[in-house]
Amino acid sequence: MSTAKAEGPVMIDAHCHLHFAAFDGERDEALARAADAGVRGLVVADYDHRLRGALQHLGERPGVAVCAGVHPWAVDALGAEALTRELTLLEEALASPGWAAVGEFGLDFVRATDKDARALQLRACSAQLRMARERELPVVLHAVRCHSTLHDLLRREGPSPAGGIMHGYSGSARQVPLFLMHGLDISVGGRLAKHAEKLRAVVQQVPADRLHLETDCPDGPVPGDSGSERSEPADLVEVVRAVAAALGQSPERLAARCAENTRRLFHLDSTLSADA
């Protein structure tokens, strides 16, 4: 499988889920397509303990950084006692080396609509912020229709010393400086890139050294494509093009700057290989 330098932008996918079952039987092919498209690294985020073994195996590949965490959607399926067990498993996992960050975790108030469900998400989020601080690891935060609540939580808990990203940013342009103040970078994917006016307003608020680009595959949408059932890291080129157009930059310049940001934050010191 070729990993020769592709023509066009050289990129790093700052957030994906390549360990998900959607890629079973085709993971190597997806990696080859990513390499051919110019993707030189991946940050792969956790969901819960059930696929963590597959995630760790994927993290053995060059150019792949892996994160351990409990996604807020996973929290929604747990009661208080089960969440305690899930967080204990996460602490045990983080005691082992090889994790680039804690995540993905956070708040999703589209899913959690009542007081009890939101309280459970807040508990899980606070616990994982603490784990990241104790281990001096970056955080990968999920936030949907909860940005004011998350800002208040971060203000109480304090920033993670190692920083992190607001993955798949969906807040307002006005809220961007609040999260930058907490030491969090902004990562943009296909969902925001499909809305040109909001995309432009958001990315213009982000300093060049605090911006990251992602696919959030397999479920993240691809800009300009309404027919794909599954996205993959190779689709990052479409996110790059959309964000570059919003900023009035060349795709190559933007991709290189964002790739360096992601490489630095997650300590990616090797290059993606499509070889098994």
Handedness of CA 235, 241, 247, 253 (dihedral sign): positive
**Crossing angle between the packed helical segments 196-203 and 236-247, to the nearest 10 degrees:** 70
DSSP assignment letter at 112: -
> Which residues have C-beta within 8 Å of that of residue 111, sequence separation ≥ 6?
72, 73, 76, 117, 144
Buried b (16+ CB within 10 A) or exposed e, 163-175: bbbbbbbbbebeb
57 marked as part of a ligand binding site = no
Coil, strand or helix at 195 = coil
Radius of gyration for the alpha carbons in the chain, expressed in angstroms and rounded: 17
> How far, in Å, CA of 244 to CA of 239, rounded?
8
Q: What does the block give as tokens for 31? A: 């990696």
Q: Which of 239, 226, 206 is nearest to 39 (CA)?
A: 239
Q: Is 19 annotated as a binding residue?
A: no
104 has binding-site annotation: yes
Q: Please name the amino acid found at residue 145.
A: R
Q: Is 216 annotated as a binding residue?
A: yes
Three-state SS letters, 228-275: CCCCCHHHHHHHHHHHHHHHCCCHHHHHHHHHHHHHHHHCCCCCCCCC
Distances (CA, A) of 263 to 66, 181, 194, 257, 272: 13, 21, 25, 10, 12
Indicate the annotated binding residues for a divalent metal cation.
Answer: 15, 17, 104, 142, 167, 216
Annotated binding site: 15, 17, 104, 142, 167, 216
